[in-house]
Structure 1
């Protein structure tokens, strides 16, 4: 009996460590997915650098409560998987949301980003936030536009002066 308790304590510790390390997590109901669909989902998550696990809800509940994430407990009913995003907070939401659009059996239940719990609608909104790389590219593009316009303007003034000098 004591050995089983030790295994459960170790699992709770593992879940807790993953929750602490993750920038974002998404919980989903996966029941009804075929083996092929589940394999496809796991492949997409792996390619995005997201860890995907299925734990007993009671163990996940214990870990969440130890971390003060009690708000997630009400979503831990039935078969629930969790996707941990360690590098980008919104990546799990994006990948799971895109997959859920094509595979109706996958149901988003909730998510956590930086300690804030979101319901399924909140996870869908998180999924609409572009990746960090896209946001950086957009920011750099917005910096570049005024500089480019200034360069074109200065070049036009220079060309106008040169044409006036030649005339």
Structure 2
């Protein structure tokens, strides 16, 4: 049985709120995917903070109207699952990783604010490092010169102590 008008309004409101918080929306076709596989996908998505929902395309189109994801409306065709996340990469990573292990899930399209991607764009986004990984790399890059400088400063007294020890050994050997 379908949803009545007030239930549809509630769904549109919920999805609109999720769209407003999202930095990325990924569309995937789930035709032929079993309940067990869908449950596993939802579990993985929840663990990564990805909002995953199967929606009627008309409701999804209404939810993105007036947002920076409005360009995605023309890609909303067929039985689709919508993955939304506040991290631009995590939704693409979760759906792409699951699609690699299950050929029934097919990535169709995606969008970031004011930018619509095709399947290849979504895969490229999934291969990018996450925000945390990028920050860790940046931090390592910034710390490297400081760490090297500290080691260099510590090496001067260490070299001096080793020189004194060698001199002492030499004098003991001469005596």
1:58-97 alignment to 2 at 5 Å?
A: 58-67=58-67, 69-86=69-86, 88-97=87-96
Q: Would the aligned equivalents of 2:72 and 2:116 in 1 still touch at CA under 8 Å?
A: yes
1:157 aligns with 2:171: no
For the residues of structure 2 that align with 1:155 and 1:70, how far apart are their CA atoms? 58
Unaligned runs of 5+ in 2: 168-175
Equivalent residue for 1:54? 54
Cα RMSD, aligned residues only: 2.0
Equivalent residue for 1:100? 99
How big is each residue's C-alpha offset from its partner over 1:118-153, in whole Å with a ceiling of 9 and x where there is no partner?
Answer: 211111111112222222221221122212211222
Unaligned runs of 5+ in 1: none
Q: Between 113-122 and 31-40, report the one with greater CA deviation.
A: 113-122
Q: Between 40-49 and 132-141, report the one with greater CA deviation.
A: 132-141
Distance apart, 1:29 and its partner CA: 0.5
For the residues of structure 1 that align with 2:67 and 2:155, how far apart are their CA atoms? 61
Q: Secondary structure at the match of 1:117?
A: strand
Equivalent residue for 1:130? 129
Question: How many residue pairs get matched?
Answer: 164
For the residues of structure 2 that align with 1:77 and 1:28, how far apart are their CA atoms? 10
Equivalent residue for 1:11? 11
- Determine which structure has more spread, i.e. the larger CA radius of gyration: 2
How big is each residue's C-alpha offset from its partner over 1:6-42, in whole Å with a ceiling of 9 and x where there is no partner?
Answer: 3333322222221111122211101111222111111
Equivalent residue for 1:29? 29
Equivalent residue for 2:171? none
Q: Secondary structure at the match of 2:71?
A: helix
User: Structure 2-normalised TM-score?
Assistant: 0.83
1:36-51 alignment to 2 at 5 Å?
A: 36-51=36-51
